[in-house]
Amino acid sequence: MWLHADIASLADIPRYHARTAGDRVALMNARRRETFRELDRAASRIANLLIEAGVKRGAVVGFYGRNSIEYFEAMFGASKAGCPLLPLNWRLSAMELKGVVDDAQPALVFVDREFVPLVEQVRETGARRFEIVEFDSTTDGESALKTRMAACSEADPNVEVRPEDTALLLYTSGTTGEPKGVELTHGGMNHMRLCEHLEPAFSWRPDDVMMFVMPNFHLVGTGLSLQGLYNGVPLTILPGLDIPALLATIARDRPTICCLVPTAIQMILDHPAVADTDLSSLRLVMYAGSPITAPLLKRAMSTLRCDFMQFYGATETCGAVTLLRPDQHDLNDERKLKSCGTPVPLVEVQILSAAGDELPDGEIGEFVVRSPAMFKGYLNKPAQTDSVLSDGWYRTGDAGYRDADGLLYLVDRTKDMIISGGENVYSTEVEQALSKHPGVSQVAVIGLADERWGERVTAIVVPVDGRAPGEDELIAHCREMIAAYKAPKQIIFAPSLPMTPTGKILKAALRKQFAPVETTDA
């Protein structure tokens, strides 16, 4: 609508590029390539498949599988049928998946062959029956989806899609509670494209290729991929994060732009094959999902020799809220490397106190965001929607501050703030101090119930090479860097930390795992 006047919905992306650059590659992987014209025709066949299967306009269509060409065919096909697509998290247990499916109630789910038994199990025990259409993303052989698509017309059904219609239904990662279905509309996603179009630091070039490696069931994966396709940029698709395959993809398809979480960047830099891989095609690495340490960012910039741009956002904001742009990365100023940057065009950020008052620079409060790309609401959860969305402003639950230069800094999730001895302790501040110790590989800081302190600052530490430093040594190290009341009162050593697919540490799981055991008198 903004860059391309004829694109007003997700369905219009393949339509437009099929008409204007039909022979241009849209999607590719290690096995095959698909042009925009082929993608548009496949999407029309899937739309007609859905209509012939009795899927009504507005009904939810699910997708359960790893990243694949079929994912985008299903997404655009669902859009052409007037249906929102629900990318399901294939890492969930059957019980967790059942909860999502019972809430979303899809009419039909496209399921990659390896996952069919699990989804059938969920269907048998769920609250509502749904149709399963099997496909196989790993071979070019026959599947139920291929057979049914071949029998469907490739004529576009041209179902009406309105700006307020839900385009994508994405469930939050559930790091702090019950997952919620975030409804992202066609209009909201189009406004996100406008915000990006007005951003001078992020432009697309005719020779760009985007690498899609982040999970499709999170906005960090799907959202940036849609931005690339909107701009006519081919996607090279990896099923998931596999470092040897990622390096081989860079060598084969020469991507120029990719998005990674800091843990993935660390894995790439540590892999022995990186020294022999030609990484020169990369011009921009975007990173998000969790904080990055200054030493890691410096090492990545030195090794990959390309621009880096951090973005901060939420599923509910439909994309980036802020960017730390390449020209804002000052390797000589470690403090500014910790910033998440400044808002993208048309997005407003306020820092509010618990009472709802706007705070001056330097004071920590909650990030509250207003954007033309905001989500419509949480599916089936009006009370939870109203608790975070009011007059166009979204309460993020993230704590941070703005400095005198206008740069924004994330300090913590407000839910992860620890109140110990009456003092507010922001866990990321403690984590940053501990991460500077040479014996610490990974760390998560949580608050555990304590009779004396209210909450006890507790650090769960993954030691380097399994050799744990002394607890007293780590606590003393922290006290040299931060106030004594912020230092951990307890260190727990662990072989690994539980994480979401996007690299966020599951602190809720840690709090549950290490919660003090309540005892009762006999």
Q: Using one digit for the tens of pLDDT, what is the confidence trace for 125-181?
A: 988 899 999 999 999 889 999 999 999 999 999 999 999 999 999 998 543 446 799
Task: Please report the pLDDT score of residue 319 as a whole number.
Answer: 94
Q: Domain extents for the chain?
A: 12-400, 418-514
Task: Please report the pLDDT score of residue 451 as a whole number.
Answer: 73
DSSP-assigned letter for residue 306: S
Which amino acid does the sequence have at 88? L
Q: Are strands 108-112 and 61-64 parallel, antiparallel or unpaired?
A: parallel
CA distance to 263, 292, 293, per residue, from 475 (Å) = 25, 22, 20
Residue 277 has φ and ψ, to the nearest 5°, of -100, 135
Residue 113: partners with Cβ closer than 8 Å, 6 or more residues away: 134, 135, 136, 137, 138, 143
Kindly report the CATH number that applies to the domain delimited by 12-400.
3.40.50.12780
Query: Rounded to an integer, what distance in angstroms lies between the CA atom of residue 109 and that of residue 407?
Result: 43
Token pair 């662990």 in the structure block, residue:
494
Task: Please report the pLDDT score of residue 516 as a whole number.
Answer: 79
Task: Please report the pLDDT score of residue 521 as a whole number.
Answer: 43
Number of Cβ within 10 Å of residue 68's Cβ equals: 23
pLDDT (tens place) for every residue of the chain, 522 residues total: 567 889 999 999 999 999 999 999 999 999 999 999 999 999 999 999 999 999 999 999 999 999 999 999 999 999 999 999 999 999 887 888 998 999 999 999 999 999 999 999 999 998 889 999 999 999 988 999 999 999 999 999 999 999 999 999 999 854 344 679 999 999 999 999 999 999 999 889 999 999 999 999 989 899 999 999 999 999 999 999 999 999 999 999 999 999 998 878 988 999 999 999 999 999 999 988 655 677 888 889 889 999 999 999 999 999 999 999 998 887 777 778 788 999 999 999 999 988 899 999 999 899 999 999 999 999 999 999 999 999 999 999 888 899 999 999 988 666 777 878 767 787 888 998 899 999 999 999 999 988 777 789 999 999 998 888 999 999 999 988 887 888 999 999 999 998 765 567 888 789 889 987 654 443
- Which tokens hold the place of 345? 């065009």
Task: Please report the pLDDT score of residue 113 as a whole number.
Answer: 97
Task: Please report the pLDDT score of residue 432 as a whole number.
Answer: 86
DSSP 28-58: E-SS-EEEHHHHHHHHHHHHHHHHHTTPPTT
* Same fold across 12-400 and 418-514: no
What is the architecture, at CATH level 2, of domain 418-514? 2-Layer Sandwich (3.30)
